[in-house]
Amino acid sequence: MNLDVLANALTLAWRVWSFLLLAWVVISWVPNIPRSHPLVQAIDRLVSPTIAPFRRLLPRMGPIDISPILAIAAYQIVYEILMRALAQMSGGY
């Protein structure tokens, strides 16, 4: 597989997941959004499994959930490492 295609796919996946995470956080702040709405449930099914490991690591801090912040930081680091590795494999560095 062409490494540029893989890098583009990884970038697209990262951007989509980041957008979904942001939507998931905003939805959690707005009490009037019905949690039974199919779009809300779809976003939750996509994002919750990626946040769950960070929720288990952090103690509950009342109504504040900082697991999305920790998740985005950790996944950003993984994304950067993967992108650098792909760049090195393609001779970009």
The pLDDT score that the predictor gives to residue 59 is 80
Structural domain spans, the chain: 3-89
Task: For residue 37, give both structure tokens.
Answer: 């709405």
**Residue 13 clears pLDDT 80, i.e. is over it:** yes
> Which residues have C-beta within 8 Å of that of residue 78, sequence separation ≥ 6?
none
The pLDDT score that the predictor gives to residue 27 is 94
Q: Supply the angle between the helices 67-89 and 38-57 in degrees, to the nearest 10.
A: 90
Give 23's pLDDT tier (boundaries 50, 70, 90).
Answer: very high
Averaged over 1-6, what is the pLDDT? Answer: 84
**Residue 30 clears pLDDT 60, i.e. is over it:** yes
pLDDT (tens digit, 9 = 90+) per residue, 46-68? Answer: 999 999 999 999 887 778 889 99
